[in-house]
Amino acid sequence: MDLKLQPIPKALYTFLNKKWHFDYLVNEIVVLKTMNFGYSLTFLSLDKGLIERVGPSGFTTSIYTSSANLVAYYSGLLYHTAFAFIIASGIFLSFFAFGVLGVPYAVSFSFVTLILSYVILLIFDPYKNN
């Protein structure tokens, strides 16, 4: 007994065998909306938004902005420059001095100092209008 030759299965087979453009509907409704959502979420928000602000572009801009803000405090006097040089040299040499005390302490001190310096740089928001 061949089911394709019976009247009801034959009508059902003929109905389902035709092209009803379900692939077009699935493509328009599901695939394109999913791709547009993924483009707006991952590419625009994360790649071009968050990663660039937190990553190298944002860090470079925050360095530039904070240095421009620090230039406003520069008086041009020799003893102010010498004082700033001594403070910066002390901070730089402290990395080597604390490294003698042991690796875990040096790593944690370096990490905390790096995070604190990055937070200070983030205080000067690089994307605000001056």
Its sign, for the CA torsion 6, 8, 11, 15, is: negative
pLDDT tens digits for range 20-61:
777 788 888 888 888 888 888 777 777 777 777 777 777 888
pTM for this entry: 0.35
pLDDT tens digits for range 8-18:
888 887 777 77
Long-range pairs for 8-17: beta carbons < 8 A, 24 or more residues apart: none
Task: List, in sequence order, the alpha helices (H) in the chain.
Answer: 7-17, 22-26, 32-38, 51-54, 56-71, 78-99, 103-123
Q: Determine the average pLDDT of the residues in 70-96.
A: 80
Domain limits of the chain?
75-130
Angle ∠(66,124,64) on CA atoms, nearest 5: 30
Amino acid found at 6: Q
